[in-house]
Amino acid sequence: MRVRGLFGRRVLGSVAAAALSAAAIISFTAAPVGAAPYLPAGDGDPFYAAPADLASAANGQVLKVAQAASPFPGSTAQKIQFRSTNSQGEPIAAVTTVLVPNGGARHDLLSYQPFTNSLGLQCAPSHQLFRGGLQEQQLIGLALARGVAVNVPDHLGPTSAYGAARLGGTITLDSIRAVQSEPGFRVGKVRTALAGYSGGAMASAYAAVLAPTYAPELNLVGLSAGGTPVNLEAIARTLGVNPNPLFGLGFAASLGLEREYPNELALSEQLNPRGVALANQIRNSCTQQIIDAGANLKIADVVGAGSLSDDQAGVDALNRNSVQMFPGAPRIPVLLYQGASDQLTPTARVQATAAKWCRQGTRVQTIIVPGDHGSTIATGVPFALNYINDRLSGVPAPSTC
């Protein structure tokens, strides 16, 4: 089938790891005074630097716009810096990329959140889109070919806080506000769909549950989420004790969460010399580098003896970034698609989340397809694109509730 050709073997290997965005999360002790997260090096492009008057801007307010050469023929591309808010309520300068098909007065909008399992700022979609390094590049091209504009936010934020799904949801909503506020982008107040797979589904789903209170003015019409890690604590308690070829991703997610919650989490205070070396090695790395560096390690290899703890601050941080634990539900139709043999984001947890949303009145369609986490990103493409197209076209949403 043609969609299988969208992704190469190496890509699928990385995709299979995407649901481990929180796997092998190291239990945290409460952060002591002086705990220092492993932050990334700054972005050398001055466009990404926050303006001095950032605090005076409103959430979603455009701060800067830069024209870029679109990697997709027949479309234009712009990078947009806008104001958003981090998990401490502090203002941040976030970035998104908007791609608009040529011609036409207005275009419906897809906000596509890529899986970005990385700690380095150079790994963000706004860089990788233009280097051909975004693994979902061709999927975005298919949406553009249908005449839909595509918003691609750097949903890990200005510190690449990998694992911080709630932050990703906030940034996603503010990125939509930003691109819809500029008349030149031709997407003002149009029908808007949310979509993503695995780590990108985490941000997309959080955007959907936050929207009713955080951004009720947006004209959101649907969410497509595939292979969604809905419960980070459950994943953390299942994986990471034994050697794992993808341990590096879970370790990186721990570093990313500490970046977002520096006053609550203290991974940096628990690492043994090998853990310190690994943290320094990957603090600016992208997905494959992280996988290679942490291959076949386990928690005990990187954390000092006796320093693991089930401190409530760590559990709370995981739950705050687990959409299954969020009390509300999307007020838009939802597609949740899942591989039948996906052991990284078990189907039962996704189905439990769907049932919870159904009880709150959300129209949820759950589709279980043959395959595991890696194969479902390809086999799920037709379901995702057709669902998005129908919601943008105003077709009544199906439900399996």
Query: What CATH code is carried by the domain that includes residue 117?
Result: 3.40.50.1820
d(CA 6, CA 114): 15
Predicted pLDDT at 240:
65
pLDDT digits (tens, 9 = 90+) for 36-64: 899 999 999 999 999 999 999 999 999 99
Strand partners, 96: 80, 153
The answer to whether residues 199 and 101 touch, using CB atoms and an 8 Å cutoff, is no
- Place 18 in a pLDDT band, splitting at 50, 70 and 90: very low
Cβ(131)–Cβ(152) below 8 Å:
no
Please report the pLDDT score of residue 344 as a whole number: 74
Tell me: pLDDT of 146 over 80. Answer: yes
Residue 245 lies in a domain: no
Domain membership flag for residue 108: yes
Give the count of alpha carbons within 13 A of 140, CB side only.
Answer: 32
Residue 288 lies in a domain: no
- Number of domains, the chain: 1
Predicted pLDDT of residue 125: 97
- What's the pLDDT score for residue 38? 94
In a domain, 256, yes or no: no
Does residue 19 sit within a domain? yes
Q: Is 172 helix (H, G, I), strand (E, B) or coil?
A: helix
Residue 264 lies inside a defined structural domain of this protein: no
314 residue type, one letter: G
pLDDT bracket for residue 2 (50, 70, 90): very low
Q: What is the CA radius of gyration of the chain?
A: 20
| Pair of tokens at residue 16 | 């299979």
Q: Specify the pLDDT at position 311.
A: 65
Chain mean pLDDT for the chain: 87
Q: Is the pTM of this model over 0.95?
A: no
Query: Considering the domain boundaries, does residue 371 fall inside one?
Result: yes
Per-residue tokens: 209: 């549950």
* 326 in a structural domain: yes
Q: Provide the domain limits for residue 59.
A: 2-232+319-392
